[in-house]
Amino acid sequence: MTTDAYFDMRNLASPKGKLRGCPVAGCTASLGKAASQWGEMPYCPVHRIRIHAGTRTFVYYNGPDATSKRDAALRNILFERHYFKNHILGNAAKAETHRICHETSEDALTWNVFSRLASGGLLPMLLSKLTHLDVKNEPELYLWGLKVRLDSSAAPLPFPPLKSARCIFEKGIVRFLTEPDIMLYVPGQLLVLVEAKFTSGNTIASASTTHDLTGEKPKSRDGILGRYTPTALPHDALLAPSSSGPFYSQLYRNLVFAIHMANELGVRWTLVNLVGEGQFHQRQHKVEFQDPTQFIHALLPEKSRDQFQFYSWERLYVDHVAKATGVNDLAEYMYNKSANGVKALAV
């Protein structure tokens, strides 16, 4: 086993009782200790992973220095690794790339799936499915606001309409600007924003403004509505939200950005909430893991309600990966992907 190894259901042990050792099947190594933001944690020196026993997950850990941290993160990147290393990892325009090394990294899953869909020429078919439009042209792919051109050695540039929307809605915010996970743009036709989730649910706004801080995006319902105001959008594009029920803050911000940017570009918009179907089913008693379609539909006039899609990684796998030609490697990745030591996707 090499120190740059990647682990999934093909080589992880079946969970039995409390996790006391390395989760890799057959490993009997004596565990050491590795630093984390939560203090020292068990560490397997053979497989170079930090072990979070309480949540049965692990983190690739090659060492505490900067080079080792980058190498550990890249172990979780299976596709277009060279491009990711040179242009995404550590990019100041991408928030929290230090979490890429986590087994449950949403960003690692997003990169692996969408970079491989792009290299396999499958994005037009995916767009046609999501939007019910006939999309034939290869879309421009933006991940976390950065244009991904896998055939180019040039540094990726931010999406200009995203910069424009930030200037309007997020003036004065200095930390964690709105960063759509995935954007797919077909000039003259279509802009799709995707809010992706893996093991986490959709963020709910708080009822109190107590934790709304200067220089950061507001966390409260009133703070969000005050900053991301529909008055900056085309007339009647967005309706006043209901005063009752959960307020899905990330989805609301992405909806505002999608409408604004599409209007600037003169194209149709679509917003997609891409979730882990199995993960949502297991935790459906929590509002964060419930279908937000009713919330979004209440914000939209009837004519544009079909421009929101609640979709899943599992459906993406079935619709566009499992039977597609030339992407067996992606099919194996998604089928065997783990989260918290068990099979992540219900495929």
Structural contact between residues 172 and 242, judged by C-beta atoms closer than 8 angstroms: no
Q: Can you tell me the mean pLDDT for 94-106?
A: 86
- Secondary structure of the chain in the HEC alphabet? CCCCCCCCCCCECCCCCCCCCCCECCCCCCCEEECCCCCCEEEECCCCEEEECCCCEEEECCCCCHHHHHHHHHCCCCCCHHHHHHHHCCCCCCCCHHHHHECCCHHHHHHHHHHHHHHCCCHHHHHHHHHCCCCCCCCEEEECCEEECCCCCCCCCECHHHHHHHHHHCCCCCECCCCCCEEEEECCCEEEEEEECCCCCCCECECCCCCCCCCECCCEHHHHHHHCCHHHCCCCCCCCCCCCCCCEHHHHHHHHHHHHHHHHHCCEEEEEEEECHHHHHHCCCCHHHCCCHHHHHHHCCHHHHHHEEEEEHHHHHHHHHCCCCCCHHHHHHHHHCEECCEECCCC
Least confident of 1-15, 32-46, 258-272, 280-294: 1-15
Q: Report d(CA 276, CA 86) in Å as an integer.
A: 29
Are 192 and 254 in contact, with CB atoms under 8 Å apart?
Answer: no
* Position 102 in a domain: no
Q: Return the pLDDT at 175.
A: 81
**What would the pLDDT profile of 276-329 be if each residue is shown by its tens digit?**
998 898 888 899 999 999 999 999 999 999 999 999 999 999 999 999 999 999
Interhelix angle for 106-119 vs 328-336, to 10°?
160
Separation CA 221–CA 208 (nearest Å): 8
| 147, 91 Cβ separation under 8 angstroms | no
175 within some domain: yes
Q: What is the mean pLDDT of residues 179-206?
A: 96
Pair 116, 66 in one domain = no
Q: Give yes or no for residue 1 having a pLDDT over 50.
A: no
Residues 118, 71, single domain; the answer is no
Q: What local confidence, expressed as pLDDT, does residue 174 receive? A: 84
Q: What percent of the chain has pLDDT over 90?
A: 80
- Asked if the structure places residue 43 within a domain, the reply is yes
Burial environment of residue 46 by CB neighbours within 10 A (0 to 12, 13 to 18, 19 or more): middle
**Last residue of one domain, picked from the residues 22, 57, 75:** 75
Are residue 232 and residue 183 in the same domain, yes or no?
yes
The pLDDT score that the predictor gives to residue 144 is 96
Q: What is the pTM of this model?
A: 0.95
CA distances from 109 to 77, 100, 246 (A): 8, 9, 27
Residues 233 and 289 in one domain: yes
Residue 345 belongs to some domain of the structure: no
Q: Is the same domain home to 206 and 313? A: yes
Last residue of a domain, one of 75, 101, 129: 75
What's the CA gap between 223 and 227, in Å, rounded? Answer: 6
Is residue 38 one of the residues assigned to a domain? yes
Distance separating alpha carbons of residues 347 and 334, to the nearest angstrom: 8
CA-CA distance, 313 to 25, in Å (whole number)? 26
Task: Domain of residue 4: give its range.
Answer: 1-75
Examine the domain organization and report whether 128 and 247 are in the same domain. yes
pLDDT at 17 over 80: no
Same domain, residue pair 65 and 203: no
Cβ neighbours for 32, distance < 8 A, ≥ 6 positions apart: 42, 43, 44, 45
Q: Does residue 126 share a domain with residue 36? A: no
Choose one of 75, 99, 133: the last residue of a domain: 75
Q: Are residues 69 and 159 in the same domain?
A: no
Measured distance CA(340)–CA(347) in Å, rounded: 17
184 bridge partner residues? 141, 192
Claim to verify: residue 24 and residue 137 sit in the same structural domain: no
CB 76 within 8 A of CB 107: no
Is 5 domain-assigned? Answer: yes
- Chain mean pLDDT for the chain: 93
pLDDT in tens, 215-241: 899 999 999 999 999 888 998 899 988
Please tell me the predicted confidence (pLDDT) of residue 189: 95
The per-residue pLDDT for 127 is 97
Count of structural domains, the chain: 2
pLDDT over threshold 90, residue 78: yes
Q: Do 141 and 24 fall into the same domain?
A: no
Q: Are residues 43 and 122 in the same domain?
A: no
Q: Has residue 2 got a pLDDT over 60?
A: no
Is 199 a member of any domain?
yes
Query: pLDDT at position 3, please?
Result: 66
Within-domain flag for 267 = yes
